[in-house]
Amino acid sequence: MRQISVADKIEVRPMPKGSGDLLETLRENGEFGLYGGRQDGDPLPVLVVALAAEQPSPQSLRQLEHAYSLAAKLDPAWAARPAALTRHEVRTILVLKDPDGEPLDRVLERNQEQPLDLTRFLRIAIGLATALGQVHRRGIIHQDIKPANVLVDDADHVWLTGFGIASRLPRESQAPAPPEIIAGTLAYMPPEQTGRMNRSIDTRSDLYSLGVTLYQMLTGALPFSAVDPISRRNGWLKSSFALLW
């Protein structure tokens, strides 16, 4: 797939799919926006991950670059594979081949915090576990498994995305850092990824995040909740230590 350039006239704004080169807003929060649509003159659908800020942090830029660097290791059968990393106007954007799925977090939002139908839960859970197994077979630790990084279609096929902080090391350590600058998503993050435990991050860390995601699908809620990130982190750590003991 060719790279998107300014000449492609892609407008990143909320519009229905199928409106020429205009993109539908799937998510806009935090450092990144996710959009879906088609390139001008190309019938194949794409996903676009765009940096929200005109002057983003170096860490955010590195995440897009890192996700793009993993393209050769990702299979379109189970991942939204990066196709291009380029700039549009003042934004750096990562273009993904769209498997025509919908982010799982949007599916759960529509369900209004109610559990998924059990049959659908099982189909998605099996597909998600299979996709994650393929990631690990490629020697990758995802490090950010969560509903927002899972795509599902109407037949409940599953693809993973969000490889910006994935690791190609068999294990690594996380230095302690304030919650607001830890890469990843606290609600789904294993304790060792916070840097508060003397334990390395490995493929088992993804299984923790997978478990939180499955719990949310099955119950409609996260296993732990609090009003601020520090309280959430402390609650997760206490619960994890209790399980260890």
DSSP 152-176: E-TT--EEE---TT-B-SS-B----
Q: Is 206 tagged catalytic?
A: no
Residue with tokens 């077979």: 137
Contact predicate 50/35, CB 8 Å: yes
Which one from 21, 75, 117, 144 is the annotated catalytic residue? Answer: 144
Torsion angle of C-alpha atoms 160, 161, 162, 164, degrees rounded to 10: 110
Q: Is 20 helix (H, G, I), strand (E, B) or coil?
A: coil
Q: Is 62 helix (H, G, I), strand (E, B) or coil?
A: helix
| Amino acid letter, residue 108 | L
Catalytic residues: 144
